Structure 1
Amino acid sequence: MAIRVGIGLGATSFEDPRAFFRLAERCETGGVDSLWQSDRLVGEAPSLEPMACMATLAGCTQRIKFGMNAVVVSLRNPLVLAKQCATIDHLSGGRLLPVFGVGVAGAQEWQAMGRDPAGRGRRANEALAIMSRLWSGESVDFEGEFYRYRQARIAPLPRQQPLPLWIGGGSKAAIQRTARLGTGWLGGLMGFEAVGPVVQAIRSESRAAGRSIPEDHYGATLPFRLGNAEHPAVQRFMKLPRSLVGVPDPSSALAVGDVPAVIERIASYVAAGVSKFVCLPLAEGESDISDQIERLVAEVLPVVEAPAFEAGIEVEGRPAG
């Protein structure tokens, strides 16, 4: 399975808009696989809207892929979201990597939009089924608990057929959702020791549903810093609530230290069955973010994306050799 590394820019405000384009250009020329934007509609922390970012990246890049990590499908109209994804994929020549989640129950968005988070999983299941049908070119008639459509059809269709439909989350419901509807899985802030059981559970549930997800369609979100663990950005991450990180020890969900330490942490995730990474630079300001990306591109990517790297790791659930 080919290891590929993307960069997440979701926690960056880009007060100077030119910085966004400079980083996108550097990632593209440096061989970064993909760029990612998180989805927060409300809140005090600055966060760019992901679908607008995807459209912007489609217009200012030529090669690099881009995706949402992860768009909260339960908060959006599935017909509009399907149309947006299809348009961006069409105009970019097939470079969109959409990832969908149900969101956190305690997030501010539910109250702001007047929606009950208790039904977010069922709402997401309906939305994902509707979008898959729309992307295939089908005229959709749908009568569900949350959505009702009559003769809904979109054009143009996505360039990618089928359009990737990756799903995020590590709960039992997310595992079942991925197994039934997804073409891939991207973990959130999960320690490497928590990722392996989820990957194995998705594989098992997929087989039970008569489906299979390709071996190299499993990913992880990995905050990183090449440098000292005492950096303020690292310390802020360490203080995140356990509900956001998913493990008792947040340090197991990030890669911090010198180059060998970061490479070793990536290897731990690969051994758990992950081959796609969204690396989030733990940094402050454009210069620091740029420096972290430069070092990742120059010192880490050539090692971890080389075929010999994955070949030397015994991957959980796969026979050695």
Structure 2
Amino acid sequence: MIVRIGYNTPAAVPDPDGLTALVLGLEREGFDSLWVSERATGPSADPVVALTYAAALTTRIKLGMSVMTLPGRRPALVAKELASLDRLARGRLLPAFGLGLRNAGEQQAFGVRREERAAIFEEALPLLRRFWAEDEVTHQGAHFQYDALRVLPKPAKRGFDVWMGGAADVELRRTGRLSDGWLAAFVTPAEGERGRLLVQQAAAEAGREVEEEHFGAVVPYRRGPLPPEVESRLTRSRAVRGPAPLDEVVPDLDGLESHLKRLVEAGLSKFVLAPLAPPADWDTELAETRDAVLHLQTVR
């Protein structure tokens, strides 16, 4: 199994010096990728903007969303936006999509009611694939209508391996039916294994296959005890799956190696490390993380 280790940008107000240090450090130290989460009502930068900035600074690391909300966006415009970024990044983009956070503010920002999100998503994602692969797209659906629409440019490889997030059983089954990979978040190794098996089962039932190396997880880690606001955020993120021991979800740096090994045993192999707070010095942070876990990565 090929193990790859990347980094997620912290949930904080965009800092150009910090982001520059992070992306250059990832490239220098041999990490696999940079990922940016999306929250319209949070302080973090928009993922496409942040990844475009990172693409201009780097030549090797891959660039992914963890994950980008699809309901509330027009598929033709998303297709052009991401294909343009992929071209400028010389084919390094890794799109990952989700329904959006279970949050009234997020749903208001995207203009989509919670009960509408799944149906919109299931119509929009296949349309993205068609826009990236086909010269013209004609489609008459419940939410989108196109008549011989041409969208250019195409991605560098005229398509992407599209990943999806999600934690509930219905989301995992949708991932098996529609996606090329699953990116979990805040999961224990046991939950990661169960989710992988459910995705694979749903894919098989749909006559598809998700490659065994296309299962990954955003892995938050901590330095010392959790601050109260982070503990509250963690509790909200665990709402679907229920409580779990802290070290099973958010290990400290000393326990990160053994935690990743257990996730590998569960069948996951792409990891996106996520410090709970921006470090004071990214060079030191990445050097210490490199020494702690990067030997687990099989491709550098």
Task: Work out whether the TM-score is over 0.5.
Answer: yes
Does residue 305 (structure 1) correspond to residue 297 (structure 2)? The answer is yes
Does residue 78 (structure 1) correspond to residue 42 (structure 2)? The answer is no
Going from structure 1 to structure 2, the CA distance change for 1:113 and 1:85 (only over 3 Å counts) comes to closer
Query: Which residue does 2:252 correspond to in 1?
Result: 256
RMSD: 1.9
Query: Which residue does 1:102 correspond to in 2?
Result: 99
Does residue 238 (structure 1) correspond to residue 235 (structure 2)? The answer is no
Where 1:75 maps in the other structure, the secondary structure is coil
Q: Which runs of 4+ in 1 moved over 6 A?
A: none
After TM superposition, the score normalised by the length of structure 2 is 0.92
Where 1:190 maps in the other structure, the secondary structure is coil
Contact 1:10 1:36 survives alignment (8 Å): no
**Structure 2: segments with no counterpart, 5+ residues:** none
Does residue 185 (structure 1) correspond to residue 182 (structure 2)? The answer is yes
The residue type equivalent to 1:293 in the other structure is: L
**Structure 1: segments with no counterpart, 5+ residues:** 308-321
CA distance in 2, matches of 1:284, 1:34: 17
Going from structure 1 to structure 2, the CA distance change for 1:28 and 1:247 (only over 3 Å counts) comes to farther
Contact 1:89 1:160 survives alignment (8 Å): no
Going from structure 1 to structure 2, the CA distance change for 1:30 and 1:198 (only over 3 Å counts) comes to same
CA distance in 2, matches of 1:231, 1:241: 10
Q: How far did residue 87 of structure 1 move?
A: 0.8
Query: Which residue does 2:2 correspond to in 1?
Result: 2
User: How many aligned residue pairs are there?
Assistant: 296
Contact 2:10 2:278 survives alignment (8 Å): no
**Which structure exhibits the higher relative contact order, with contacts defined as CA atoms closer than 8 Å and separated by 6 or more residues?**
2
Where 2:90 maps in the other structure, the secondary structure is coil
Contact 1:135 1:158 survives alignment (8 Å): yes
The 10-residue stretch of structure 1 (24-33 or 134-143) with the greater mean CA deviation from structure 2: 134-143
Contact 2:10 2:275 survives alignment (8 Å): no
CA distance in 1, matches of 2:30, 2:104: 35
The residue type equivalent to 2:146 in the other structure is: Y
Query: Which residue does 1:292 correspond to in 2?
Result: 285
CA distance in 1, matches of 2:104, 2:184: 18
Does residue 281 (structure 1) correspond to residue 280 (structure 2)? The answer is no
Where 1:100 maps in the other structure, the secondary structure is strand
Query: Which residue does 1:41 correspond to in 2?
Result: 40
The residue type equivalent to 2:71 in the other structure is: S
The 10-residue stretch of structure 1 (62-71 or 6-15) with the greater mean CA deviation from structure 2: 6-15
Query: Which residue does 1:247 correspond to in 2?
Result: 242
Per-residue CA deviation, residues 112-169 of structure 1 (Å, 9 max, x unaligned), is: 3442121101111111010011111241111112111122222221113431100110
Question: Percent of aligned pairs with the same residue?
Answer: 31
Q: How far did residue 181 of structure 1 move?
A: 1.6
Contact 1:21 1:60 survives alignment (8 Å): yes
Query: Which residue does 1:217 correspond to in 2?
Result: 214
After TM superposition, the score normalised by the length of structure 1 is 0.86
Per-residue CA deviation, residues 5-40 of structure 1 (Å, 9 max, x unaligned), is: 11000413244x122112111111111100011111
Contact 1:55 1:88 survives alignment (8 Å): yes
CA distance in 1, matches of 2:89, 2:95: 13
CA distance in 2, matches of 1:297, 1:4: 12
Going from structure 1 to structure 2, the CA distance change for 1:158 and 1:113 (only over 3 Å counts) comes to closer
The residue type equivalent to 1:6 in the other structure is: G
Q: How far did residue 218 of structure 1 move?
A: 0.3
Which residue of 79, 86, 108 maps to 1:89? 86
CA distance in 1, matches of 2:72, 2:284: 35
